[in-house]
């Protein structure tokens, strides 16, 4: 079954973070599966969440051609990032093909720990108390209170479906 090897690879590190007071391991693995297509669309070997460089990252990066959606057709990027094309989708959305700098990790453990740091920021302080409840945490990071994790209006529903899928795989693999 697709995804079982992915779950087996990530589960120990995700569970360790959960046990140290972090986000539910089920949520973490489900979100990694969703964001990376069960690992097939990861950026490099370990960037399973598609984490861009951002302003605070001091580690290694890699320049990758990707697609981004923005509400403006005048978005600017700093070199070496660069726009290849911009296509207007509708009055509120533009599709960019762009070279972006993405974080480069040395392991899944490093990627998962960095990803969890995102949810510890004040942007998600309204969601953090629900971190042990994967479904509610998905709803809270997708609402319009403080930060919203994704622009997809159905992100919470998609995540809940992925959470169910990961739980089935955990049962098949006899992992807890």
Give, for 28, the enclosing helix (H) or strand (E).
Answer: helix 25-36
Max alpha carbon distance in the chain (Å)?
A: 50
Is 0.75 topped by the overall pTM? Answer: yes
Task: Give residue 54's pLDDT band: very low, low, confident or very high (50, 70, 90).
Answer: confident
Count Cα atoms within 13 angstroms, Cβ side, for 122.
0
Q: For 63-84, how does the pLDDT look when each residue is reduced to its tens digit (9 = 90+)? A: 999 988 888 999 999 999 999 9
State yes or no: pLDDT of 61 exceeds 90: yes
Q: Write down the domain spans for the chain.
A: 4-50+116-173, 61-102
Sign of the CA dihedral with 145 first, then 146, 151, and 157 last: negative
Q: CATH 3.40.47.10: does it fit domain 4-50+116-173?
A: no
State yes or no: pLDDT of 140 exceeds 70: yes
Beta strands in the chain (DSSP E): 61-70, 82-90, 93-103
Note the pLDDT of residue 56.
Answer: 86
Task: Give residue 47's pLDDT band: very low, low, confident or very high (50, 70, 90).
Answer: very high
Choose between 71 and 87: higher pLDDT. Answer: 87
Q: For 95-109, how does the pLDDT look when each residue is reduced to its tens digit (9 = 90+)? A: 999 999 999 999 999
Provide φ and ψ at 66, rounded to 5°: -145, 175
- Mean pLDDT value of segment 25-37: 96
Name which of 5-9, 16-20, 114-118, 140-144 the model is least confident about: 140-144
Is there a contact between 94 and 86 (Cβ–Cβ < 8 Å)? Answer: yes
Note the pLDDT of residue 1.
Answer: 54
pLDDT, averaged across the chain: 92
Note the pLDDT of residue 92.
Answer: 85
């Amino acid at each position: 079954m697709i995804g079982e090897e992915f779950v087996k690879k990530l589960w120990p590190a995700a569970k360790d973070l959960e046990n140290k007071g972090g986000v539910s391991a089920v949520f973490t693995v489900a979100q990694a599966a969703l964001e990376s297509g069960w690992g097939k669309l990861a950026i490099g070997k370990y960037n399973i969440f598609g984490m861009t460089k951002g302003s605070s990252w001091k580690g290694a990066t890699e320049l990758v051609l990707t697609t981004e959606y923005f509400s403006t057709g005048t978005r600017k990027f700093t070199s070496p990032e660069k726009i290849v094309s911009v296509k207007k989708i509708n009055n509120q959305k533009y599709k960019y093909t762009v070279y972006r700098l993405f974080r480069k990790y040395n392991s899944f453990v490093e990627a998962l720990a960095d990803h969890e740091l995102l949810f510890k920021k004040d942007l998600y302080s309204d969601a953090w108390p629900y971190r042990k409840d994967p479904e509610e945490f998905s709803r809270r990071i997708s609402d319009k209170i403080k930060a919203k994790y994704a622009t997809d209006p159905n992100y919470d529903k998609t995540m809940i479906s992925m959470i169910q899928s990961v739980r089935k795989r955990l049962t098949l693999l006899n992992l807890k």
